[in-house]
Amino acid sequence: MTIVKRFIAGAVCPRCGKMDTLRMYRDESHEHRECVSCDFSDAMALDGSDQPKGELDTRVNRGGKVELEPAQPLNFVPNPSTTKH
């Protein structure tokens, strides 16, 4: 399979911010983008479902549920000087 890399006209690299440095190519399952100015690259599945094939573990279900830090309770102390009518 011949992989043709084509520059994406007008695309801006999300890492280095340069324009027209991104190029894309496809393999049989993914569409890749890479920057020729920095080492940015990413890939997305052609069918839209970017499911890892098992070697990448998902970050859910590891270490149980996420504990959110409780918000600091606000202590509303009525100011006596403002309560008179």
- SS3 for the chain, per residue? CCCCCEECCCCECCCCCCECCEEEEECCCEEEEEECCCCCEEEEECCCCCCCCCCCCCCCCCCCCCCCCCCCCCCCCCCHHHCCC
- The verdict on 15 binding Zn ion (CB under 5 A) reads yes
- The verdict on 13 binding Zn ion (CB under 5 A) reads yes
Cβ distance to Zn ion smaller for residue 25 or 40: 40
Cβ distance to Zn ion smaller for residue 20 or 30: 20
Cβ distance to Zn ion smaller for residue 6 or 29: 6
When binding is defined by CB under 5 A, the residue of 7, 16, 27, 46 that contacts Zn ion is 16
